[in-house]
Amino acid sequence: MSVQERKERERAARERLIVATARELAEQQGWDAVTTRRLAERIEYSQPVLYSHFRGKREIIGAVALEGAAELAAVVRAAASAADGPRERVAALARAYLDFAERNPAVYDAMFQLDGGLAFADEDTPEPLKDAFAALLESLSEVAGDGVHPGLFTELFWAALHGVATLTRAGRLPPEYLEPRMELLVDRLAIT
């Protein structure tokens, strides 16, 4: 291995460490606790080293969001592929999505609530974000219905899931009705 390859590998490892540490700190204490000073202390590198990877917190949030999008796509695809039939796939997708949002609140915030400097629904949208949407589209397109654009249907279903996840987490919707809400959403929007 050349010196250059070793340096690139070490740089990539530091970057993964920064993102993992930011994510861990955000999940434990919230995004307000994620500062470059605190991250530098936790990873035992100087702030200039941290800034050599990310220009600031916004880029770190973006990196966490991209990692989260890749994880969400994998979770949704795994859940949908394990189910038989269109309705069951949509129900599994919805459960997996809501479970991901509940288990990873800081990551979910990085993806959808905070400014990570990422473009959505645009030519410049990063691949992990496009792939997360594609993971939803794969199952939802088969239940969109005649004459309904699959992408628009997926956007609407995603918006409903996001609303349920966000409002439940904020205490605006009673959590004990999460399953009936999800079932109603699937039954009304994804009838096959």
Residue 148: half-sphere exposure toward Cβ, Cα within 13 Å: 17
- State the pLDDT at residue 53: 94
Residue with tokens 């999940």: 27
- Could you report the per-residue pLDDT of 25-69, keeping only the tens digit for each? 999 999 999 999 999 999 999 999 999 999 999 999 999 999 999
Residue with the larger pLDDT of the pair 82 and 186? 82
Q: pLDDT digit string (tens) for 67-120? A: 999 999 999 999 999 999 998 999 999 999 999 999 999 999 999 999 999 999
Which tens digit of pLDDT belongs to each residue from 142-182? 999 899 999 999 999 999 999 999 999 999 999 999 899 98
Cβ within 8 Å of residue 47, ≥6 positions away:
36, 37, 40
* Average pLDDT value for residue range 125-137: 97
Does this model's pTM top 0.85? yes
The residues, any chain, with a CB within 8 Å of residue 105's CB and separated by 6 or more, are: 27, 169
Q: Given this model, what pLDDT does residue 189 score?
A: 75
pLDDT at 165: 96
Which pair of structure tokens corresponds to residue 174? 């009673």
pLDDT reading at 192 higher than 80? no
Taking residue 168's Cβ as centre, other Cβ atoms within 10 Å add up to: 19
The predicted structure's pLDDT at residue 188: 82
pLDDT at residue 190 is higher than 70: no
Contact residues for 176 (Cβ-Cβ < 8 A; gap 6+):
none
**DSSP H or E run through 78:** helix 57-81
How would DSSP label each residue in 31-76? Answer: GGG--HHHHHHHHTS-HHHHHHH-SSHHHHHHHHHHHHHHHHHHHH
